[in-house]
Homo-oligomer: A and B are copies of this chain.
């Protein structure tokens, strides 16, 4: 990346805000940007070639990207993580953890930095302190995965759906909108089921007065009832 460009400032300021790079010196961060190339991933960009993320490490600057697994046996998708600003991927290939069979799709127009894995490893060798922040970051993600396992293994689908809606409620707006822009297929992939089942339970919730729906948009009309769906079944 030509760090003389105006754009460079934007990336620099995003990274320095990130918990991953906040402690990195000005010089080192510049070095990181020098081995980076910026790329735009328009909405719906898919990375289905696992070798790409195997050799290129990414920092998500803006946008939203889902990490998902595809099961060919029953033609089902499972979203493992939603990546947002300042997330990085793929930490598995960075640590040489064999092949990591996941795919990526930009759910919104996104901007990413591309860094060759080999160069990233070198940079980390020169900046050993980042291992600490990467460790903290990874542990946080692991915590999310752990709760995901517990949800999928022990809770029924209405509970999982309710929790998904609850956790993604936009409490700032007057009307509690949730998970904007995702279809029922996407919702199913997020909780490990199919669109038909998601739709069934959404209709049930609607009848119970918990929410209202319009296309790709869910509005929670009764937060208390939604909470009750989750509570009494562990928080």
6 interchain residue pairs of minimum CB distance: A153-B192, A131-B131, A95-B139, A131-B132, A71-B154, A135-B135
Distance of A142 Cα from B155 Cα, bound (Å)? 21
Distance of A161 Cα from B153 Cα, bound (Å)? 14
Q: Does A91 contact B (CB under 8 A)?
A: yes
Q: Which of A9-17, A73-81, A104-112, A168-176 contacts B (4 or more CB under 8 A)?
A: A73-81
Whether A146 and B145, one on each chain, are in contact in the complex, defined by CB atoms closer than 8 angstroms, is yes
Residues of A within 8 A of B (CB): 69, 71-74, 76, 78, 80, 91-92, 95, 97-98, 100, 128-129, 131-132, 134-136, 138-143, 145-146, 148-150, 152-155, 192, 232-234
Whether B73 and A233, one on each chain, are in contact in the complex, defined by CB atoms closer than 8 angstroms, is yes
13 A-B residue pairs with Cβ-Cβ distance under 8 Å, sorted by A, are A73-B154, A73-B233, A78-B149, A80-B150, A91-B139, A91-B142, A92-B143, A95-B139, A131-B134, A131-B135, A138-B138, A149-B192, A152-B192
